[in-house]
Structure formats: C-alpha cells, structure tokens
Amino acid sequence: MKAINTQVGKNIKRRRNLLSLSQKVLADKVDLSRASIANIEAGKQGLSVKQLFIFAKSLKTKPVVLIRNC
C-alpha cells in the first residue's frame, strides 16, 4: 500500500505543479490542511476513493491520471 500512496502522491504533486498551484491553494480546494497535502504528496497519507475523485476534479483531470503507474 505504501508504494501506491507514494505514486499517487507523486502524481498529485506533478499535476499540482503543472497547474502552478501551491499546496495551500490545493488544500483549500479539497478541504484539507496544507500539512495533509504535504503528507499525501510524500506518500505518508492515503486517499479514499471519494477523495481521489475530489482531487482529480480540483486538478482538472481524471482519477486514472492520479493512479497512473501504481
């Protein structure tokens, strides 16, 4: 599970940077703290399926993009 969380976190970070969003801005969009975003991007915190869809919508992409290479 750790490897999946790590890859999803990398994909979220890559997409966030592509859109030039700060962790704080993304945190506000998904209703989490900035610290949670940092933990997710580092693979230390996982996501529920519902959260995955919220992240995808906030990052203007499809959930499958966020789970790529898992």
Token pair recorded at residue 3: 């490897």
Q: What is the residue extent of each domain of the chain?
A: 2-66
Architecture of domain 2-66: Orthogonal Bundle (1.10)
Closest to 61 measured CA to CA, from 25, 15, 2, 20:
15
The reported pLDDT for the residue numbered 1 is 78
What spatial distance separates the first Cα and last Cα of the chain, rounded to whole Å? 10
| pTM for the full predicted model | 0.95
pLDDT digits (tens, 9 = 90+) for 23-54: 999 999 999 999 999 999 999 999 999 999 99
